[in-house]
Amino acid sequence: MDAATLSADGAHRVQAQTRLPNFIGGRFVDGGAPFDVRNPATGDVHAVAYEADAAMVDAAVAAARECVEGEWGHMPLARRRALLMKVADGIERRFDEFLEAEIADTGKPRAMAAHLDIPRGAANFRVFADFIASLPDEAFEMDTPDGGRAINYSVRKPLGVVGVIAPWNLPLLLMTWKVAPAMACGNAVIVKPSEETPSTTTLLAEVMNEVGVPAGAFNVLHGFGPNSTGERLTSHPGLRAITFTGETRTGAAIMRSAASTTKALSFELGGKNPAIVFADCDFDAAVAGLARAAFLNTGQVCLAPERIYVERPIFERFVAAMKERAEALRPGLPHDESTDLGPLISHEHREKVLGYYSLAIEEGAKLVTGGGVPDLTGAAAGGYFVEPTIWTGLPQTARVTREEIFGPCCHIAPFDSEEEAICLANDTDYGLASSVWTRELSRAHRVGRAMAVGISWVNCWFLRDLRTAFGGARQSGFGREGGAHSIAFYSEITNICVKV
Ligand code: NAD
């Protein structure tokens, strides 16, 4: 990342902003229309990124293709793995810079970024560099009509150039979750980070150069979605695959623009995730677990439970305990050690979340706590904060209980039987994640399996083994990534049939 301050084209802006240029074929390149990147904790512009135009997209695709057809795509696996391990080391070596960049883009509390976002960014490279070496290939021996035999075996090759379109909520973590396996398989990647959070992806480009990843294997193009860099990339004929994390309706738009060139697609989309709390649960663990789940990252986690169903005998007690947890959260600036609730990502997103806060009341919700904007002073007064919010009393048909809000909020409803809880939980167009809280062993397995989701947690939430399948059912996406699933998606498999 070029830390020089802007001159000519950015003279109207405050000084000391970070410049975030595009990174093509191993070089940071000038050009593209500048756009502001704001720190959502204060509302201040802290960086300027440059929207890649069509020529830059073409140049990135050409550089990536040359690299995948050349050095990177044909590099011995041991060397490629060693380089990816060095990328992980490089992130850790520059840990504080990644941390500050992620905090500036997202406004999230420092402790969260230090314990989750940045370490997982490094871990993604290590896990997939390890995993690719230990994955078996398939082989089948067969009889042939002439009484002989043939042996089939498969080999994995890179797909080619892979586009990675990333969201803003866990920028480094979710981007590297795609980039690491794609590169481990020998693909060249072109990353378009979210326009809200371009900093850590740009910093990663520096690390790639520092550790000697060949030019063109990793490229970064900044910009927006429709009629901008995102659409230019997803419709580009030079890409073989698009891996996308973001909103369901963006996924639909990407599918349309990728259709004419029949690219492989892997989509991790939105959710309206349920949690089911049975009366026999470990009550304190369930409250602690679900308060964390609902409010972590200010509710901006795709896996967050916005619908919580609680067995009637403990309903009132559970609501009261969640209220207490929500009211104990302290919003504030990221570096303030007392802060445990950051802002929403942008002014627009806050408008959207506050729109749902109003709608909940119009739809007849009982407001348990929150519902507004906290009264903050100093620099945080310009930030995009909202109160953690809990409702009860809404019907299953309400928009607030059906649509993804992506804020620090949840609706809590009672249930009377296991069957009813399963019905309520699965009554949604989405199918990303769920969590079930019970001490009864058979029920844990039974209800955990009955959830119509890609990721079903029991007595926990967001507990991730990166070798396991991750992805959503229904409108929460398709395809699975994680472990062997990632390697399968990012590889072209050739079956070789040898008559012996
Ligand atoms: P978004 O869909 O608005 O944007 C995601 C990315 O897509 C951005 O980089 C954006 O610029 C780009 N984009 C937008 N329109 C595009 C287009 N037409 N063509 C190409 N690219 C386009 O999502 P967001 O607001 O950044 O992230 C929040 C959403 O992501 C939520 O819905 C959340 O549930 C979802 N999400 C899902 C997962 C998961 O694993 N399933 C994880 C995190 C976030």
pLDDT digits (tens, 9 = 90+) for 161-179: 999 999 999 999 999 999 9
Task: Say yes or no to pLDDT of 428 above 70.
Answer: yes
Residue from 497, 495, 399, 490 nearest 185 by CA: 490
Q: What is the mean pLDDT of residues 267-276?
A: 98
Does the beta carbon of 225 sit less than 6 angstroms from any atom of ligand 1? yes
CA distance to 26, 283, 289, 465, per residue, from 308 (Å): 47, 14, 12, 24
Task: Say yes or no to pLDDT of 324 above 50.
Answer: yes
Does the beta carbon of 66 sit less than 6 angstroms from any atom of ligand 1? no
Give the pLDDT score at 17: 81
Tens digit of each residue's pLDDT (9 = 90 or more) over 372-410 = 999 999 999 999 999 999 999 999 999 999 999 999 999
Kindly report the pTM of this predicted structure: 0.95
Q: Are 35 and 64 in contact (CB under 8 A)?
A: no
What CA–CA distance (Å, rounded) separates 94 from 70?
29
231, 268, 311, 387: the active-site residue? 268
Does the beta carbon of 164 sit less than 6 angstroms from any atom of ligand 1? no
Token code pair at residue 413? 């409803």
Task: Say yes or no to pLDDT of 14 above 70.
Answer: no
Residue nearest atom 42 in ligand 1 by C-alpha distance: 302
Does the beta carbon of 308 sit less than 6 angstroms from any atom of ligand 1? no
Domains and CATH numbers, the chain: 4-269+476-499 (3.40.605.10), 273-465 (3.40.309.10)
What CA–CA distance (Å, rounded) separates 331 from 148?
73
Q: Are 7 and 19 in contact (CB under 8 A)?
A: no
Task: Say yes or no to pLDDT of 9 above 60.
Answer: no
Give the pLDDT score at 367: 98
Determine the residue of 192, 302, 428 to mutate for testing ligand 1's pocket, defined as the one with the most ligand atoms within 8 A of the Cβ atom.
302
Q: The tokens 């008559």 sit on which residue?
A: 499
3-state secondary structure of 411: strand
| Catalytic (active site) residue 311 | no
> 90 pLDDT band (50/70/90 cuts)?
very high
208 Cβ partners below 8 Å, 6+ apart? Answer: 26, 87, 217, 218
3-state secondary structure of 495: strand
Give the pLDDT score at 16: 60
The ligand 1 atom at the shortest distance from the C-alpha of residue 167 is 26
Does the beta carbon of 403 sit less than 6 angstroms from any atom of ligand 1? no
Tens digit of each residue's pLDDT (9 = 90 or more) over 27-42 = 999 999 999 999 999 9
Amino acid at 160: G
Give the pLDDT score at 458: 98
Token code pair at residue 111? 């402790």
Q: Are 126 and 85 in contact (CB under 8 A)?
A: yes
Tens digit of each residue's pLDDT (9 = 90 or more) over 93-116 = 999 999 999 999 999 999 999 999
Tens digit of each residue's pLDDT (9 = 90 or more) over 23-82 = 999 999 999 999 999 999 999 999 999 999 999 999 999 999 999 999 999 999 999 999
The ligand 1 atom at the shortest distance from the C-alpha of residue 246 is 30
Give the pLDDT score at 1: 46
Cα–ligand 1 centroid distance for 499 (angstroms): 48
DSSP states of 79-92: HHHHHHHHHHHHHH
